[in-house]
Amino acid sequence: MKKEKYIMAIVGPKGGVGKTTISANLAIALTRLGKKVVVVDLDLGAANLHSILGLRETKFTLNDFVMNRVKNLSDIVLDSSIADLKIICGGDVPGIANLHYQRKLKLIRHLSLLESDIVLLDLGAGASYNVVDFLIIAQEGLLVTTPEVPSLLNAYSFIKTLIYRQFTFHFKRTNCPELLDLLEKAKNFEANPHLKTMEGFLQEAKKIDPEGADAAKRILRNFRPIVVVNRVLTKNDANAGNVVRKLMSQYLSIESSVIMTIREDQAVKKAIARLTPVMIDPPR
């Protein structure tokens, strides 16, 4: 039996939070645990992962696959200077950030066929359906934020969008048009204040379709977001993740989450300036 591909995804709903730096260094750390890793730059339209990993020239990019210049995604996998770490460089074709749904499905299918132990996806900023859908297919997702309030609120908004997207897929798959309508109303909670919280939504959903409401509850129970608060300077910064945790609990009925912190370190900034991952120089 073929081993299921383990896919990890790193996302930063707000730009500049350090998502790509974490992706590059995490990929290196995984190779040091004996894993074969392919890291994929899916920051469509704003790709720079290859630069952080020290690649000056890119023979192939995701453009070649998306534009059907190559048949298989494996054809554009490039070696890095790090043992057991390969990379797929991101594309910059105008409009690639709004990838057509069928092309996105094709890309998702090919990601599962790559020869590696782990496929690590470096996703773009924002909460577009492209970003959300690639996170949904991952077995593990890290949501990167910084301690600033706007970044924390963006992280919460992204999680809400992710949950609603999962509900949408399920309600479509199980043919629940009434719950899809209710979900649309919930997105405009100013006009529908009784749907402002997940508890309110689930109560209304139960009146319409008890089985559908129970399925939504199961999706919530199985959802365990991992929030990484990056560039932490103070004790207050280290506690900033609790803002997201409280919002998830109060408005989304999500009680199970993991909050991690990464402290600010000038060595990281210097490594980025040298276009060298800090796991390589200086690894301490």
**Rounded mean pLDDT of 218-239?**
95
Q: Which of 12-21, 161-170, 224-233 has the lowest mean pLDDT?
A: 12-21
pLDDT digits (tens, 9 = 90+) for 153-183: 999 999 999 999 999 999 999 999 999 999 9
CA distance 124 to 28: 20
Question: CA quadruple 90, 96, 98, 101: dihedral positive or negative?
Answer: negative
Q: Is the pLDDT of residue 227 over 90?
A: yes
CA distance 202 to 199: 5
151 in Cβ contact with 228 (< 8 Å): no
Structure tokens that stand for 214 in this block: 């129970």
pLDDT digits (tens, 9 = 90+) for 60-109: 999 899 889 999 999 999 999 999 999 999 877 655 667 788 888 999 99
Q: Which of 14-18, 71-75, 81-85, 231-235 has the lowest mean pLDDT?
A: 14-18
- 3-class SS of residue 55: coil
Name the CATH superfamily housing domain 1-145.
P-loop containing nucleotide triphosphate hydrolases (3.40.50.300)
Peptide bond into 282 cis (omega under 30): yes
Residue 167: predicted pLDDT: 97
**Rounded mean pLDDT of 214-227?**
95
pLDDT digits (tens, 9 = 90+) for 22-38: 999 999 999 999 999 99
Look up residue 208 and give its amino acid.
I
Q: Where are the domains of the chain?
A: 1-145, 148-262
CA distance 179 to 262: 40
Residue 1: predicted pLDDT: 42
Percentage of the residues of the chain whose pLDDT score is greater than 90: 75
